[in-house]
Amino acid sequence: MNRRNFLKTAAGAALVARSARPALGAQPKTTSELAAKLPRWRGFNLQEKFNVGRNRPFLESDFALIQEWGFDFVRLPMDYRCWTDKDNPYAYNEKVLTEIDQAVAFGRKHGIHVSLNLHRAPGYTVARPPEKLNLWKDEEAQKQFDAQWAMFAKRYKGIPSERLSFDLVNEPAKVSNADYAKVARRATAAIRAADPDRLVISDGNSYGNVPVTELAGLGIAQSTRGYQPFQLTHYKASWAGGNWAEPTWPLKRGKEVQGKDWLRKQYIEPWKKLEAMGVGVHVGEWGVYNRTPHDVVLRWMRDVLSLWREAGWGWAVWNLHGGFGPLDSQRHDVQYESFRSHKLDRKMLDLLRQF
């Protein structure tokens, strides 16, 4: 059996997973060391609590599969309304929180780092409907935000940061770096008051695309995005807007050619400068919606994956199941493989596993 076929087996995937972990007896990194240089964690976003209308328990089978394939990271983008009382924003539903506890436990069982993220936070969301309060300006929104993270910090105190991190708020936008940094500092202080050793991650500004140097001295990591060029990654996505021509890769926009060198200059080099300031970097979301031609998707993915490997950064695909990921994506130009009651995009999976 050749190496490629071996890696498709459970035994081969387990070998990859083991090789990606620290050697037995290796000294665990401190939280400050992790924040300054994140491990190259790679995996997926899991969306069971992405929206209050979903609010389902996380599936251990997803964690087991991610481990089997050789990955070691999940980001859980969550809507705070899933567990927060609608009449009392400081009261939380223990049943729902127990389901998050289960996800943290699944991570431990399967050797996967779990990163909790408020995709919708008190006072801010990129989704609809908008929040009534403004996280960047309203004291009450900031108090609720701090209370959310303090609650999680108390709940998970003692779990090593190599296993669990807090990603404060998804994709801040239309806010100054100064106002965003103020909110992030407050929330980080609330976390550290309860658990001084928790690894904290902040998304970049402008929907995760712009590094926030104002947070460089805080001892927290930052998360960037992999959705550029947007006309390629979100072609015909109903929520994205834009009447764009069918994308190619490289993408030509007027006289400009947006290709690998363009990505390196625009979306790698600014973050490498931040990293040089002692801030660890991770790509918290990335991928291509299912309407972009598959051959274009794979060529683009190979280029961004090679850039992130060159930079030493990990990543999390949006998503495992659904329009961006390798399972059940409903692309019309893919010959799917039947896989445990799912439709698997084998070419995409094989590419992901190469990096």
Give me the number of domains the chain comprises: 1
Do 166 and 116 form a contact (C-beta atoms < 8 A)?
yes
* Cα 43–Cα 130–Cα 188 angle in degrees, nearest 5: 55
Position 326 pLDDT exceeds 50: yes
Centre a 10 Å sphere on the Cβ of residue 299 and count the other Cβ atoms it contains: 16
- CA atoms of 51 and 126, how far apart (whole Å): 12
Helices 60-68 and 94-110: crossing angle in degrees, nearest 10, is 20
Q: Is residue 170 part of a domain?
A: yes
DSSP annotation of 214 reads: G
Burial of 63 by CB count in 10 Å (0-12 exposed, 13-18 middle, 19+ buried)?
buried
The domain of 208 spans: 37-354
Burial class (CB in 10 A: 0-12, 13-18, 19+), 143: middle
Structure confidence at residue 353 (pLDDT): 98
Per the DSSP assignment, residues forming a β-bridge with 115 are: 75, 165
Query: What mean pLDDT comes out for the span 42-71?
Result: 98
Task: Tell me which of 29 and 160 has the higher pLDDT.
Answer: 160
- The whole-angstrom separation of Cα 310 and Cα 321 is 27
**Helix (DSSP H) and strand (DSSP E) numbers for the chain:** 13, 13
* 186 domain residue, yes or no: yes
CATH code (residue 190): 3.20.20.80
Estimate to the nearest angstrom the gap between the alpha carbon of 297 and the chain centroid. 19
* 242-255 pLDDT tens trace: 889 999 999 999 99
Could you read off the pLDDT of 252-278 as tens digits, one per residue?
999 999 999 999 999 999 999 999 999
Q: Is the entire prediction scored with pTM above 0.75? A: yes
12 belongs to a structural domain:
no
Q: Which tokens is 272 given?
A: 């490498």
What tokens does 227 get? 């959705």
Q: Which amino acid is at 150?
A: A
Return d(Cα 219, Cα 202) in angstroms, integer.
11
Say how many residues make up the chain: 355
Is 5 a member of any domain?
no
Buried b (16+ CB within 10 A) or exposed e, 9-21: eeebbeebbeeee
% of residues, the chain, pLDDT over 90: 91
Instruction: Report residue 241's pLDDT band, with 50, 70 and 90 as the boundaries.
Output: confident
Assess if residue 1 is contained within a domain.
no
Please tell me the distance from the alpha carbon of residue 265 to that of residue 39, in angstroms, as a whole number.
23
Query: Residue 193 has what pLDDT?
Result: 98
Kindly list the distances between the CA atom of residue 63 and the CA atoms of 58, 59, 250, in Å, as whole numbers in the listed order.
9, 7, 34
27 is a domain residue:
no
Average pLDDT over residues 143-156: 98
Q: Residue 205 pairs with which residues in a beta bridge?
A: 210
> What burial class does residue 132 get, using C-beta atoms within 10 Å of its C-beta: 0-12 exposed, 13-18 middle, 19+ buried?
exposed
The CA distances from residue 136 to 117, 120, 142, 171, 294, in Å, are 18, 14, 8, 13, 39
- Work out the number of other CB atoms within 10 angstroms of the CB of residue 111: 17
Q: How far apart are CA 140 and CA 147, in angstroms?
A: 11
